[in-house]
Amino acid sequence: MTQTDWSEVLSPEEYRVCRQSGTERPFTGVLLNESRDGMYICKCCGADLFPSESKFDAGCGWPSFFKQHSDNVGYREDHTHGMHRIEIFCNSCDAHLGHVFPDGPEPTGQRYCVNSVSLTFKGDGVEIKG
């Protein structure tokens, strides 16, 4: 899809975060406190990204996970805002998801810090868009 196509199917905030690598304000995401069993999928293309059993409360204000699902999450260096971070994105559609940090719980030690607005939660007959 072109950027124009994305801007027509996503809300302005979804577009800013997912297509322009923005960040939602902490503690505002719909999925921050979601605790049901299911799968967190890409808001843009529906690819499976994070299983609910890997979600944990990192206290940072964004949904956090200690592992990804399969190889659907990609990584690239991010040097914006005078920092060195690792950006995470959807390998299927290149949607910006957030960043990954090496301060998560075992068994991976990773903290995938994800914008709620870049996700949709699916589980037990319920679908919640972040």
In 3D, which of 128, 93, 115 has the Cα closest to residue 21? 115
CA–CA distance, 105 with 57 (Å, rounded to integer): 10
Question: Among 18, 42, 90, 113, which one carries the catalytic annotation?
Answer: 113
Put the strands of the sheet holding 39-42 in their side by side order.
Answer: 48-51, 39-42, 119-123, 126-129
Query: What are the structure tokens assigned to 108, written together?
Result: 């991976």
CB 56 within 8 A of CB 66: yes
The answer to whether 90 is a known catalytic residue is: no
CA–CA distance, 31 with 21 (Å, rounded to integer): 19
Q: C-alpha distances in angstroms, 20 versus 55, 71, 94?
A: 25, 22, 11
* Residues that are catalytic: 113
